[in-house]
Amino acid sequence: MPETILIPTDVFSELRERIAEIAPSLHCLPYTEDDTPVYVADAVALLRWIGGKRFTSLILRGKNIRWLHTASAGVDHVLTPTVRERCERGDLTLTDSGPAFAVAIGEFVLAWMLAVSHRL
């Protein structure tokens, strides 16, 4: 049976095709913020999208989840007691999308400085 990755429905259709190209042996399934899918028990990875808050309950129910990736820069807000405990035990790897924001954050800060200095 292929390994299952849970992906938020917001980005599921966009990411599913790209993941199938890169890793055809993976099985991608959607989840919503309102509903815990029955197939969470089969999942090995979980993508937390921006603003997603249900990852802790999914981690609790998905005992086989070994990887939690957050689409944010930084993981402080994702380190709930459940996630922290599983990471400390070595049962869960937590990654973020920090490098994806490297250029954008520099541009944002510069734009903000210009806006403030010119009282926009």
Decide: 32 and 59 in contact? Cβ < 8 Å. Answer: no
**Phi, psi torsion values for 29, nearest 5 degrees:** -130, 145
Per-residue pLDDT, 102: 80
Q: Average of pLDDT values for 62-70?
A: 92
Span 8-55, pLDDT tens digits: 888 998 888 898 899 888 889 898 877 777 788 889 999 888 776 778
Residue 61 has pLDDT above 90, yes or no: no
Distance CA 25, CA 13 (A): 17
Helix (H) or strand (E) holding 14: helix 9-22
Q: Average of pLDDT values for 43-72?
A: 86
Per-residue pLDDT, 113: 95
Decide: 44 and 23 in contact? Cβ < 8 Å. Answer: no
Give 1's pLDDT tier (boundaries 50, 70, 90).
low
Per-residue pLDDT, 65: 93
Using only the alpha carbons of the chain, give its radius of gyration: 17
Question: What is the Cβ-side half-sphere exposure of residue 20, based on CA atoms within 13 angstroms?
Answer: 9
Its pTM stands at 0.78
Span 71-95, pLDDT tens digits: 888 888 889 999 999 999 999 999 9
